[in-house]
Amino acid sequence: MKTTTKTTERNVGIDIGKSTLDIFVLEQDNHWQTDNTEAGVRALAARLARYKLARIVVEATGGYERKLVYALAEKGLPVVVVQPMHVRQFAKAQGILAKTDKLDARVIAEFGAIMKPPIRQIQTKKIRYFRDLLARRRQLMEARTQELNRLDKADKAIQSTHKRLIKILDKEVAWVTAKLERTVGEVTEWQETYEIVTSVPGVGDGVAHTLLGELPELGSLSPRQVAALCGLAPVNKDSGSFKGKRRIKGGRAPIRTMLYMAMMCAVQHNPVMKKFYAKLVAAGKHKKVALTACMRKLVTILNAMVRDGRRWQEV
């Protein structure tokens, strides 16, 4: 489907492969391909900088898009990363079932022109590095848990190999944790946020580091926005006379997971959360529902504390 528009701005779709990039400028019906290499990305960013662009849309591809997105962002170009599922649903709605690299690039460009996904600021190198450290720590902790589970079931003859690997993993976790702490100490704003967040009973380094890396917007959002970004905003599922259960959905999973672990501690040791949780359970709420409500309340409180620059006070 050919899209016409009166604006002089261009919508660009880029289909990202491991070794190649397919670029489609919708308003010019122009397609070309380049290598997904440092040199290819630099040349592409320079070429696109000559256009007056509305947005450049790329799909999240598990990491292959990162160097391109960062290069475009450094040029000040309006790049936005979207979920592949959303683009495929958009294509199916138009009856487009065929799939080639050129066609995919065109569909991505059309998705950008019609759906107009919001352009968000790309995170700084410091935050990206911090997030990479957080991701690595999660990977190491998952591997450690797996080895502990295997050790528990292993015969004595092979227990030593599990123990050796667990020691190595412990050293790697300690190394990453030290890097996280050092990075926080190097940024004054992060140190202030860290001290505010950890002043809350039940909130430790894990939650504080995760919020710094995964939710840099903390303190600048409304209560509804911060709950939605953490995946803690209930989503309605109603149709006609049918009233479905409201469930949380989407958001940034690492934050939600860490907040859940923190809340398991907070409902025992934080007087405010303990009282709120007991009130919900007494009102007949399922314990998991009550925990989710406490998580939402906690992140809302943390957002307000960082916004106002104040530490925890029991209320």
Q: What is the pLDDT of residue 121?
A: 83
What pLDDT was estimated at residue 97? 87
What's the predicted TM-score (pTM) here? 0.79
62-66, 282-286, 287-291: lowest mean pLDDT where?
62-66
Over 70: is that where the pLDDT of 190 sits?
yes
Query: Which pLDDT band, with edges at 50, 70 and 90, does 5 fall under?
Result: very low
Q: Which residues of 112-137 are buried (b: 16+ CB within 10 A; e: fewer)?
A: bbeeeeeeeebeeeebeebbebbebb
CA dist., res. 60 & res. 242, Å (int): 35
Q: Is the pLDDT of residue 191 over 70?
A: yes
Which has the higher per-residue pLDDT, 277 or 249?
277
* Neighbour-count burial of 204, counting CB atoms closer than 10 A to its CB (0-12 exposed, 13-18 middle, 19+ buried): middle
pLDDT at 251: 85
pLDDT tens digits, 114-134: 999 999 888 888 888 999 999
Residue 315 has pLDDT above 60, yes or no: no
How far is Cα of residue 13 from the mean position of the Cα atoms in its chain? 22
Burial class (CB in 10 A: 0-12, 13-18, 19+), 187: middle
pLDDT at position 122 is 85
What's the pLDDT tens digit per position in 233-266? Answer: 876 666 666 666 667 677 899 999 999 999 999 9
Query: What is the separation, in whole angstroms, between the first and last Cα of the chain?
Result: 58
Chain segment 212-222, per-residue pLDDT in tens = 999 999 999 99
- The length of the chain in residues reads 315
Distance of alpha carbon 187 from alpha carbon 181, whole angstroms: 11
Which H or E run contains 264?
A: helix 253-269
The per-residue pLDDT for 141 is: 96
Phi, psi of 154 (to 5 degrees): -75, 150
Average model confidence (pLDDT) across the chain: 91
User: If you average pLDDT over residues 177-206, what whole number do you get?
Assistant: 93
- For 144-174, write each residue's pLDDT tens digit: 999 999 999 999 999 999 999 999 999 999 9
Cα 140 to chain centroid distance, Å, stands at: 19
pLDDT per residue as tens digits for the range 76-113: 999 999 999 999 999 999 999 888 999 999 999 999 99
Residues 62-76 have pLDDT tens digits of 888 999 999 999 999
Distances in Å between the Cα of 262 and the Cα atoms of 43, 46, 173 are 46, 46, 19
**252 Cβ partners below 8 Å, 6+ apart?**
214, 215, 229, 230, 231
Using a pLDDT cut of 70, give the percent of the chain over it.
93
| 123 or 294, which is more confident | 294
